[in-house]
Structure 1
Amino acid sequence: MRSVLALILGGGRGSRLFPLTKARSKPAVPVAGKYRLIDIPISNCINSELHSIYVLTQFLSASLHRHIANTYKFDMFSKGFVEVLAAQQTNESADWYQGTADAVRQNLSYIQREDPDDVLILSGDQLYRMDFRHLIETHRGHRADVTIAAIPVGERDTAGFGLLSMDAHSRVTGFVEKPKTEEERKPYYTSADWIERRGIPCNGRHYLANMGIYLFKTQVLYEVLTAKPLATDFGKEVFPRNYKTKTVCAHLFDGYWEDLGTIRSYHESSLALAGPAPPFDFFAPDGVIYTRMRNLPASRVNAAVLEHSVVSDGCVIGADSRIERSLIGVRSRIGNGCTVRDTVIIGSDRFETDADRAANRKAGRPDLNIGDGALVERAILDKDCRIGRGVKLINRDNRQEGDGPNGAYHIRDGIICVPRGAIIPDGTVV
């Protein structure tokens, strides 16, 4: 569908996902054992026959660029592309992106070069499966200037999202960004009958949340981004300023959708994938999620016990170990007699040889990734970390926030996060 250009916003510094974003951009964060967050929106585009895709980033984009270059290659006759547009100084602007709208405005020249009829704007840190052709059908069927994807949410979730209201003709009639009080929420309460008439079960979800997925007529996008004063954010400025004068419609969606912008949401969503009935199914035959092909061997499990866990390619799990409700990423190595519970292990970039392990002994350095007899609970272990023998990562003091010596670990939302390449010496108790 060459008439639609997709722009995927990479987000800012990703401070709420620190330390996973310490050395990589948010869209490059690994997810589900073998994927990266950016694979989700790109795969949704490809499955929707949208093959013209720009990814907008400004922080630590080298690994993201490498992943995209190694993964998404279209044949020379399709004219499809997935390209990274990193923030840069231009004759028009010397500033980094100030918000979602500003990021798109600084790349208007690339949109003009492609000359699409419509521009689809997506977020790079969400887990969902959507056929954008249905969104496009809603957009063009209503002759909308802008169409916003919206999902019903319960009252307890409203503080984290922008809310909208809409009339019987799907036209948006109001916006509020992340309401904090009942007074702010009240005008956006939607009756169960109204929601269910649109074929969506209400189930106590009486508010319509902005999903951060927008489809603009290209000319309208130019107009709203160049109007003075210049807007920096879509949810806070562009839509509240324009919904009364432009035809702004909403497209209701009722599938699984999760924003993975915090350590807590990342941890909870990752563990949910390991359950017996995951809310997001990577095994679904429709809407395949693509990623970089790796020539890795099958994983080897040596007399270990696994319960409700996902084990990716190239892993070795030692004898008498127990893995419960955990997600094990590519090339992970877990020693003998370990217990890993409610934990996400991102894995490693390489295998260690016997010579490497001998060098580790000589240097007093643990092997990749978890040594014999370790106990790891409610944690996220980033790539290439080294957890020594007999280590206990259990948040012994039940802290919600905290940082270890020399950045060896961080505690966020009560979850122990070990940064990429960090070393936890033998016998350490956290």
Structure 2
Amino acid sequence: MLLAGGQGERLYPLTRDRAKPAVPFGGIYRIIDFPLSSCLNSGLKKICVLTQYKSYSLDRHLRIGWNINNYELGEFIEGIPPQKRTSDLWYQGTSDAVYQNIYVLERERPEKVLILAGDHIYKMDYRELIEFHESKKADVTVPCIEVPLNEANRFGNVSINNDQKIVDFVEKPDHPQSMPSNPNIALVSMGIYLFNTEVLVKRVIEDAKKDTSHDFGKNVIPSMIHEGRLFAYIFNDKNNKAVKYWRDIGTLDAYWDANMDLIQIDPIFNLYDTSWPIRTYHKQFPPAKTVFSELFPGGKCGTVLNSLVSNGCIVSGAHVERSVISPNVRIENHSEVYDSIIMEGVRVGKNVKIRNTIIDKFVIVPDGKQIGYNPEEDARQFTITEKGIIVVPKMLPLL
């Protein structure tokens, strides 16, 4: 069960018209492609995507990009909005989302249920998680990762014994506990939970009867610490880099940082590993091209440096550097784009200057426009993050 119904308020305005898991990432992908690819690469082919807010583009992406399973063989990826089988309310939390879909579990009768978040970037072989879970005879297994102590208050703080049994779990604590082996590191939950089905059904029913936030991290998992067999699975990263990669890109600055990492010479997250493909839907665009390099002396125009450029793009007498350019983008003569994320269908006119900016789909940037150079002017029109990144909403008519 992949939870994809959150509002994504901290990613606004990118979530103004779409669910957070449907936000584009890395030029050609959507965020949800990464946990779904981990499912596919792990051989898991019975997937329910629990949707809720602004799910149209997410549902469409699942339908045209992930319609790859054979239902006659018991394989499926199904989007499930709130069914209101148990109440007249929408999903009230992660636990409630599963509670409201107990009918699905009754129909499929799985031995185990893997609860995933639809808005994280990582690579995990869930088969190894399942093997660990079975070896420990666990009721619940929580994948965990080590993070700097000063960042741990953003996550569920986990304490374990020598057998990796969870002895304490506190969601987003004010004062996180460090690991005994390193006072500067904390062990935190990745927001993934592997349950034995009987245990899961019992616990979400119990939680539904209580006045809680109906959340796995805040309520269900802490309530089981002294009553069940809970274990922490230390994340084994299939990204195959020196540093483990897992990103909850829940803020605009974190989203920009994660995209900018992809354009580095040796990015932490490897999109080019053929042994672990990331699947998505590709529209039928022609190859990208650059033209009119002779417009500026020294060939500064018609050039792209240290950037990701997707199919269908034309950089026409313009200069792009350290940027992520999504499909079907046009950048016209004498324009310059630096350190930016330009999403699908954007049209950048002539003599435009853009830097430190995220531009959502289908925006038309008129000739001579400057974004990222005048903070006061930008603040009157756009969202500006704590780091000073400008965010231009989808289809906003610029002046």
Kindly tell me the number of residue pairs found equivalent between the two proteins: 378
1:395 Cα deviation after fit: 5.1
Q: Is 1:83 equivalent to 2:66 in the alignment?
A: no
- The answer for the alignment partner of 1:411 in structure 2 is 384
Q: Which residue pairs with 2:333 in the alignment?
A: 336
1:260 aligns with 2:249: yes
* TM-score, structure 2 normalization: 0.91
Q: 1:131 is matched with which residue?
A: 125
Please tell me whether residue 375 in structure 1 is matched to residue 353 in structure 2: yes
Amino acid at match of 1:60: K
Task: Calculate the TM-score normalised by the size of structure 1.
Answer: 0.85
Distance 1:69 1:251, change over 3 A: same
| Residue of structure 2 aligned with 1:224, choices 203, 210, 215 | 203
Q: CA RMSD in A?
A: 1.7
1:316 equivalent in structure 2: 314
Kept in 2: contact 1:11–1:123 (CA 8 A): no
Query: Where does structure 2 lack aligned partners over 5 or more consecutive residues?
Result: 238-243, 294-301
Deviations 1:39-88 (A, max 9, x none): 11111001000000011111111111111111122135432111111124
CA contact (8 A) 1:190 1:207 kept: no
| Equivalent position SS for 1:423 | coil
- State the partner residue of 1:292: 281
Cα distance in 1 for partners of 2:132, 2:71 equals 32
User: 1:307 Cα shift?
Assistant: 2.1
Tell me the residue number matched to 1:196. Answer: none
Q: Does 1:420 align with 2:394?
A: yes
Mapped to 1, the partners of 2:109 and 2:53 lie a distance apart of 27
Select the residue among 180, 193, 199 that pairs with 1:190: 180
Superposition pairs for residues 72-111 of structure 1, below 5 Å? Answer: 72=66, 73-90=68-85, 92-111=86-105
Moved more, 224-233 or 161-170: 224-233
- Alpha-carbon spacing, 1:122–1:313, altered in 2? closer, same or farther (3 Å): same
The 1:43/1:385 distance shift into structure 2, 3 A limit, reads same
Shift in Å, 1:226: 0.9
What does residue 209 of structure 1 align with? 188
Give 2:176's aligned amino acid: R
Report the AA paired with residue 410 of structure 1.
T
Whichever residue aligns with residue 392 of structure 1, its letter is Q
Question: How many Å apart are 1:412 and its aligned residue?
Answer: 2.7
Pairwise CA distance, 1:179: 2.0
CA contact (8 A) 1:402 1:412 kept: no
What SS class does the counterpart of residue 192 from structure 2 fall into?
strand
Structure 1 distance, partners of 2:353, 2:261, is 21
Cα distance, 1:223 vs. partner? Answer: 1.1
Query: For 2:363 and 2:110, how far apart are their aligned partners in 1?
Result: 45
Which amino acid in structure 1 is aligned with residue 227 of structure 2? Answer: T
Structure 2 residue 359 is matched with structure 1 residue 385? no
Q: Report the alpha carbon displacement of residue 190 of structure 1 after superposing the two structures with TM.
A: 3.0
CA contact (8 A) 2:28 2:282 kept: no
Structure 2 residue matching 1:424: 3-state secondary structure: coil
State how far apart, in whole Å, the 2-side matches of 1:38 and 1:11 are: 11
Unaligned runs of 5+ residues in structure 1 are: 1-6, 193-203, 349-367, 426-430
